[in-house]
């Protein structure tokens, strides 16, 4: 059975808690995880760039000079690709980069990412995470107490608190999410997963 230490915001250990081994103790499937990362990164691409072909640029309705006898190379239009202001040959056009992955694979990828973090000892569980004020220094103090102030941290709570949002928004290398928003890309790019106990129970309930 996988275990994790439960801390308070002062960085003091409260107790050991059990992690669901069907989520945090599986045999990692790196191929499915890789596919999920590619899917996530592809979904961030807009694919809205566009270049005009010679059929779409303005002008070029007539032949610039006669075919023979001028000493110039033969030309059919001043909007051919070799002309300034001409069309672009084989340029990019709008396209959809999205990929598909079935539901079981997406869940397995999440479990693999969580298992990798657990195996590395990079999951920190907090009994709660609330701030009395929206001051950034109070939030940084919590990170310093947990000894992760200089790391890239993914902080997951069951419900976002306004003071927590305001206090953390100017801190570099910190991502703040609700438990129902966790995704593979953020999990694999984070050094540490900091999660509240109630958020952990919610994730285990969904992924079990």
pLDDT tens, residue by residue, 156-194: 999 998 999 999 999 999 999 999 999 999 999 999 999
pLDDT tens, residue by residue, 105-161: 999 999 999 999 999 999 999 999 989 999 999 999 999 999 999 999 999 999 998
Contact 182, 123 (CB under 8 A): no
**Residue 32: CB atoms within 10 Å:** 20
Average pLDDT, integer, range 14-19: 89
Per-domain residue ranges of the chain: 2-44+100-207, 46-96
Alpha-carbon distance of 157 to 50, in angstroms, equals: 41
CATH T-level assignment (fold) for domain 2-44+100-207 = Ribosomal Protein L4; Chain: A; (3.40.1370)
Alpha-carbon distance of 185 to 181, in angstroms, equals: 11
């Amino acid at each position: 059975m996988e275990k994790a230490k439960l801390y308070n915001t002062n960085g003091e250990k409260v107790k050991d808690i059990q992690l669901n081994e069907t989520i945090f103790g599986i045999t990692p499937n790196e191929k499915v995880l890789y596919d999920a990362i590619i899917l996530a990164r592809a979904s961030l691409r807009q694919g809205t760039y566009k270049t005009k072909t010679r059929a779409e640029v303005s002008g070029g309705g007539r032949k610039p000079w006669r075919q023979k006898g001028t000493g110039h190379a033969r030309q059919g239009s001043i909007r051919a690709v070799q002309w300034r202001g001409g069309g672009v040959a084989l340029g990019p056009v709008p396209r959809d980069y999205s990929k598909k992955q079935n539901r079981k694979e997406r869940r397995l990828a999440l479990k693999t990412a969580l298992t990798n973090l657990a195996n590395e000892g990079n999951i920190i569980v907090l009994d709660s995470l609330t701030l009395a004020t929206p001051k950034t220094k109070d939030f940084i103090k919590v990170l310093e107490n947990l000894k992760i102030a200089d790391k890239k941290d993914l902080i997951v709570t069951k419900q976002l608190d306004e003071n927590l949002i305001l206090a953390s928004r100017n801190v570099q290398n910190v991502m703040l999410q609700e438990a129902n928003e966790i995704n593979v890309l953020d999990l694999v790019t984070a050094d540490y997963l900091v999660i509240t106990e109630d958020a952990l129970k919610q994730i285990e309930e969904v992924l079990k």
